[in-house]
């Protein structure tokens, strides 16, 4: 239990990782812990939107752990031009350290789940990744452009950067998002 409690205390730091995305009320930027919780709620509410049959418990678990690596590696916004290869290395190292705080079997289980999410190849991971793109898209539309305005993102870039990933996990969510994006850029 000591290792589990050490892990739980360490991941409290996720509350201090500030993302680029503003809250919908625009009072401040969201943190990564809030983002993970919100995505878990998106999964719970929108589970019937998945293209494939999914295990919603696995999807929620993925979403709760997917950004824990940001404690060490920082947030890597979708529209950031930073070196993706270097970010991937930092995230792998962070995953080893953070999940390594847990008892071996539990740590191994979570790092495998995290890697599955990152790969996005299973039906569960595809839906989780779709939600990880869909939620910030909703925030950007709801805030009149949010991070898109800051990064001078075009409609074509939104369609490219969000569309494939969302559509792979949920064609119905992408259909809704595409309409929202079209309306926003009009």
78: CATH: 1.10.3210.10
pLDDT in tens, 99-146: 999 999 999 999 999 999 999 999 999 999 999 999 999 999 999 998
CB 121 within 8 A of CB 110: no
Q: What is the pLDDT of residue 80?
A: 66
> Is a pLDDT exceeding 80 seen at residue 82?
no
The CA distance from 56 to 61, in Å, is 8
Q: State the residue range of the domain holding 102.
A: 2-185
Give me the number of domains the chain comprises: 1
What does the alpha-carbon distance between residue 8 and residue 2 come to, in Å, rounded to a whole number?
Answer: 10
Q: Is the pLDDT of residue 72 over 90?
A: yes
Pair of tokens at residue 37: 């919780």
């Amino acid at each position: 239990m000591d290792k589990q409690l050490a892990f739980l205390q360490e991941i409290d730091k996720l509350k201090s990782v500030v993302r680029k995305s503003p809250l919908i009320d625009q009072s401040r930027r969201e943190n990564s812990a809030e983002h993970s919780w919100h995505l878990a709620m998106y999964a719970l509410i929108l589970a019937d939107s998945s293209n494939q049959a999914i295990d919603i418990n696995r999807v929620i678990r993925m979403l709760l752990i997917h950004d824990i690596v940001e404690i060490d590696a920082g947030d890597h916004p979708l529209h950031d031009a930073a070196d993706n290869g270097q970010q991937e290395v930092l995230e792998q190292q962070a995953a080893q350290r953070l999940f390594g705080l847990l008892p071996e079997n539990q740590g191994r289980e979570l790092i495998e789940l995290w890697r599955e999410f990152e790969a996005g190849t299973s039906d569960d991971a595809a839906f989780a990744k779709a939600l990880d793109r869909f939620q910030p898209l909703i925030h950007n539309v709801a805030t009149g452009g949010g991070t898109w305005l800051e990064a001078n993102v075009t409609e074509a870039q939104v369609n490219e950067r969000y569309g494939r990933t969302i559509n792979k996990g949920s064609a119905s969510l992408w259909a809704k998002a595409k309409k929202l994006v079209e309306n926003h850029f009009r």
